[in-house]
Structure 1
Amino acid sequence: MTWKQNGDSFFGLKSAAYLAALFVCLCSIARAQDSAIQLSSPNSDFAVSGQFLGYDGQFIRVDTTAGEVTLAYDGLICDGASCPDATFVPTVRFSGAQRMGQIILPPLITAYARDIGASVTVEPGIDGVVAFHIRSDTGGNLMQIIVRSTTSADGFADLVANEADIVMSAREVTAAELALARESGLGRLDRQGRSRIVALDALVAVVSPEAGMTQISLESLSRISAGEVTNWAEVGRPEGAISLHLLPDWMGQMQGFQTRILGPAERTVSADAQRYATPEGLAAALMNDPRGIGVLPFGALGDTQPLRLIGECGIGVAAGRMTLKTEDYPLTMPLFLYLPERRLHPELDALLGWLRRPAAQLVIRRAGFVDQTAIPIPIGQQGDRFAQAISAAGAEVPLVELQRMVRVLGPQVRLSTTFRFEAGSTRLDAQSRSNVLQLARDIYDGRHDGRVLMLVGFSDGRGPAIANRDLSSARADVVRRAVVAALGEGLPPSVTLETEAFGEALPMACDDTIWGQQINRRVELWVADRG
């Protein structure tokens, strides 16, 4: 059987079960000690031998001398200890980031089982492995989920080694991991549909409440983290040696910190940094060190003092639920599930689809992370943002343009859904690709019926204002095309999707850094009822 994907669209498909055609199979059963099997047809005109890789209840995967093959299992004769039988239970293996495997996934699995009228039995293992057995109300086994809590890097390694089906990652997949996955026949993990953002986290610069600090610039944080600044006097604070508290480099979020904050300046983390195995250990140590500074996940700040990140022009932003959703906070770290190009068993397909539902978003919030539910932001609550725009607008942004912006946006409500692009590219970044799919699903489900949706483009302030307005308009068009493509069957007549652009008229960060420029290059979503 051949599965065909229509571009990146899946919302045109009428049944969630058909998502298997796009998100491909990841389920397999535990491999027997001897996984060699032989498959043949009843009339013996066909036979294939190899190592058993997985079975989803309909299709079996075998690693042969000619490569991996997938065959419809019904009607085949199977010989070998690993041959599936009538007792088959769909099993999916998650491997990767500890915070996801230990904090997010267990309550999500439990809540999903409750929603479908099933129960969960938890079976702890060794080396961070836990098995979740989901059973129907009649006692039948629906699915087994095995979760290995380790590191993001180990999760990708397990996937390539066929020891995992889904990767839990606290960072984006690296170029080397992408190449290895493709070489291993797992497809392109960076394609739309190959990754799902489960929740949003962030890294937050923190100090002891006794330090008397409330903000720091990204450049100062970068230089301190690299060991280039070792005394507080060098960044305008009272004299005193700086002690740096960090989590281990193997944590996905710290790898993201290196990529985003230190990488652009070709810096690396200072060898003098004090390391802690857990966020709780770091927070406790920092509370007793008024001259220290550290970086913690958003959901694990404890009683430390979080620092607002500022730029040279004075515009700053603090980590919060809203600023993570809008990606205005520069150290927002999405938490990913990465899926290879294989078919999905319907039970797993249903679970992954449920993760986007309101019930799952509530679980994510209760676990201390930020969910992806769009939040309305009336213009009356954006006084500070517009005040910053007026004070920071360059000479090329006339008053008439600011007045036009307020006149256009005034009758509308902004949603927290925001779209940004990869550095130096017209490709949407990972969080924004997820936002495209979520917006398309909301349109498909009728949540925006009777509304006018406006995608509003903004730019950084580098270059001529007229050219920047054209660039921001082009970005808004890119997002509109992506949303329409995700819908597949086209925009429903009950929804209007428009674009507008204001260029550099509403900066959210200073343009003196790469981070600030990326924050300002964005497309916002504004909504209003049809007149």
Structure 2
Amino acid sequence: MAGWVSSARAVCVLILFSLISSFTAAAEEVRLRLKGGDFEIVGDLVSFDGRTYVVLSPLVGRMKADASRFECIGGACPNLTTTTQPIPAKLAPLPASGKMAIAGSHTIGHALMPALIEAYADTLGLSVSTAVGSDPKNTTVKLTSSDGRHAGTIDLRRQGSDTAFTELRAKTSELTMSSRPIADLEATGLAAAGLGNMHAPTHEHVLALDGLVVLVSPDNPVVAISITDLARVFAGEITDWSELGGREGAINLYAPADGSGTLDTFQTLVLEPNGKQMAESAKRTSDDAERSNWIIADPSGITFASIAYQRNAKALNIESSCGLISRPSRFAMKTEEYPLTRRLYLYTPGRPKNPLAARFLDFTLSEQAQPAIARTDFIDLGSDSLTFRDQGARIAYALNAHDEDFDLDAMRQLISEIAQAERLTTTFRFKSGSVGLDNKGRQDIERLVTTVQSPKFRDRQLLVLGFSDAVGGYDENLRLSEVRATAVADLLKKSGVTNAIAKGYGELAPVACNDTPASRNYNRRVEIWVK
């Protein structure tokens, strides 16, 4: 019986290979032929990075092929004797027309999503025109080809993150935007409605990162505020600037409207851990840009908003309960170690069946979209780097850790490892006691492979360093951090990265306090360094 199954499988494989080999190539197609063999893959050449071909085959879908094992045949093939620069990824041609709806977060929908729509249109040579509805938060975007043909319509509705999930349930939007993760109750309701597991990587997509910045007037002398005091300010318990080291004068509060993902994030990270609620006296609007303008005009005002809307207001440093002071830098937000960092999400009911929605989703998560994200002042998902010398404050804080969380010899070893290295912003985080990657981590593996195989990093040593929170014994946490580092290194190795060394350092070098669940989450991580 086993022999029959094996023979049948072999026959199926031969039939598949025969079908692939006999497929007639179109103008943009290439043939990837196995060197010294009879196997061929036929399809559109999506990208080539100097090492790996990515081909979209009409029979077997998207496939990768190692250039050292396959030869490329066809007019669209790169010339390997002269080509040294990667061929950028191409999108499949857009159908003659299509229509889709995107709904949810005002923070994402105000500037970021329009910028992504324009960037997407540019890749296809399309022009964009926008009509504002009777409600200015609703717009209709039309895509037009260079010869004047209608190429698509996108309805963009920016009514707040809460509406992302009501629209999914009502099946009135193919893509929805949220500036907070879906709540368990919302996910349960959508699953019951037949929309599947909203936490699955096919449904939950990390679009970008963001940091909530605490904004005051440029003339305000206050430079930092603790999370505890921040909670008390917005609860209406601290009412005068002199209580924060500033000049005497009443504090005027400005906050997002109810239903805003920005407000939900602030409540989760600041108010709820301190047992506080938003003061009734706060002036409300869901428009981050409008609140930023109010602050610039009010020397006594304070608000919180996305870093993309800081404008000319001054952002305060954030002091954690254990004395660690975090500056609202883009590097700290990319590593997700600034304490008010958040992820910006797209949610879908699985892979979109609408061709326009599917193509647009692919674009928003691609490398091509990252410059558009950065131009809007949100935090893109590409890797940046920072030298050891530029992280002195973090190392100094680590050297002052409690004795039970510290090992001097291990700390010396860590410093010797990274003293001549650069840290990449790509950082992997884990649930308590877990070694599995979350959805962003899965996305980041692919991006990290592209980064470390680029000419800048290709010939350098890669350090994959694991860390833990302080819950549990020191030795147990050391072993767990080693397992996490090894898990990431193994995933990189499977993708062709063979110059990675994995090590674990347990509770050493925390990047946040270990006194709340949110803070401990920052410390359960794997960092990537190159030297």
Q: TM-score, normalized by length of structure 1?
A: 0.74
Contact 2:202/2:350 (8 A) holds in 1: no
1:404 and 2:413 are equivalent in the alignment: yes
1:125 and 2:133 are equivalent in the alignment: yes
**AA aligned opposite 2:126:** A
Distance 1:445 1:145 in 2: 35
1:224 and 2:233 are equivalent in the alignment: yes
Q: CA deviation at 1:401?
A: 1.3
Superposition map of 1:243-322 within 5 A: 243-287=252-296, 289-322=298-331
**AA aligned opposite 2:155:** I
Distance 1:19 1:110 in 2: 31
Q: Secondary structure at the match of 1:517?
A: helix
1:161 and 2:164 are equivalent in the alignment: no
- The aligned counterpart of 1:525 is 528
Contact 1:334/1:431 (8 A) holds in 2: no
- The aligned counterpart of 1:507 is 510
Contact 2:370/2:382 (8 A) holds in 1: yes
Contact 1:216/1:309 (8 A) holds in 2: yes
Change (3 A) 1:206 1:132: closer
Q: Secondary structure at the match of 2:398?
A: helix
- The aligned counterpart of 2:39 is none
1:113 and 2:121 are equivalent in the alignment: yes
Contact 2:227/2:318 (8 A) holds in 1: yes
Distance 2:368 2:524 in 1: 32
Q: Secondary structure at the match of 1:495?
A: coil
Change (3 A) 1:88 1:357: closer
- The aligned counterpart of 2:99 is 91
Superposition map of 1:62-211 within 5 A: 89-127=97-135, 128-211=137-220
Question: Which has the higher mean CA deviation after the structures are superposed, 171-180 or 273-282?
Answer: 273-282
Change (3 A) 1:179 1:18: farther
Question: Which has the higher mean CA deviation after the structures are superposed, 151-160 or 393-402?
Answer: 393-402
Distance 2:472 2:251 in 1: 38
Distance 2:454 2:200 in 1: 24
**AA aligned opposite 1:172:** P
Question: Which has the higher mean CA deviation after the structures are superposed, 267-276 or 229-238?
Answer: 229-238
1:416 and 2:425 are equivalent in the alignment: yes
Change (3 A) 1:267 1:17: farther
1:334 and 2:343 are equivalent in the alignment: yes
Change (3 A) 1:126 1:439: farther
Question: Which has the higher mean CA deviation after the structures are superposed, 173-182 or 230-239?
Answer: 230-239
Contact 1:21/1:343 (8 A) holds in 2: no
**AA aligned opposite 2:463:** M
Superposition map of 1:344-423 within 5 A: 344-392=353-401, 394=403, 397-422=406-431
Q: Secondary structure at the match of 2:403?
A: coil
Change (3 A) 1:442 1:137: farther
Q: CA deviation at 1:433?
A: 4.7
Gaps of 5+ in 2: 1-46, 63-94
**AA aligned opposite 1:104:** L
- The aligned counterpart of 1:4 is none
**AA aligned opposite 1:168:** M
Change (3 A) 1:272 1:324: same
Q: CA deviation at 1:257?
A: 1.3
Distance 1:508 1:181 in 2: 36
Q: Percent identity?
A: 31
Quick one: higher RCO (CA 8 Å, sep 6+), 1 or 2?
1
Q: CA deviation at 1:327?
A: 0.4
Q: CA deviation at 1:220?
A: 1.8
Q: Secondary structure at the match of 1:382?
A: helix
Q: CA deviation at 1:309?
A: 0.9
Distance 2:352 2:328 in 1: 38
Distance 1:177 1:208 in 2: 38
Change (3 A) 1:426 1:237: farther
Superposition map of 1:417-436 within 5 A: 417-422=426-431, 428=437, 431-436=440-445
Contact 1:316/1:509 (8 A) holds in 2: no
Q: CA deviation at 1:308?
A: 0.8
Q: CA deviation at 1:417?
A: 0.6
Contact 2:220/2:246 (8 A) holds in 1: no
Distance 1:416 1:409 in 2: 14
Distance 1:389 1:313 in 2: 12
- The aligned counterpart of 2:89 is none
Change (3 A) 1:444 1:399: closer
Distance 2:139 2:359 in 1: 21
Distance 1:470 1:365 in 2: 37
The size of the alignment, in residue pairs, is 448
**AA aligned opposite 2:283:** Q
Distance 2:237 2:437 in 1: 33
Contact 1:412/1:527 (8 A) holds in 2: yes
Contact 1:17/1:350 (8 A) holds in 2: no
Distance 1:137 1:324 in 2: 39
Distance 2:495 2:455 in 1: 9
CA deviation profile, 1:254-276 (whole Å, cap 9, x unmatched): 11111222233443222232323
**AA aligned opposite 1:92:** M
Q: CA deviation at 1:369?
A: 1.3
Superposition map of 1:433-444 within 5 A: 433-439=442-448
Change (3 A) 1:297 1:16: farther
Q: CA deviation at 1:181?
A: 1.4
Contact 2:174/2:357 (8 A) holds in 1: no
Aligned alpha-carbon RMSD (Å) = 3.4
Gaps of 5+ in 1: 1-10, 23-86, 485-489
Q: CA deviation at 1:237?
A: 6.1
Change (3 A) 1:513 1:183: closer
**AA aligned opposite 1:130:** T
Contact 1:454/1:525 (8 A) holds in 2: yes
Q: Secondary structure at the match of 2:201?
A: coil
Question: Which has the higher mean CA deviation after the structures are superposed, 328-337 or 122-131?
Answer: 122-131
- The aligned counterpart of 1:69 is none
Change (3 A) 1:20 1:249: farther
1:491 and 2:494 are equivalent in the alignment: yes
**AA aligned opposite 1:244:** L
Change (3 A) 1:323 1:248: same
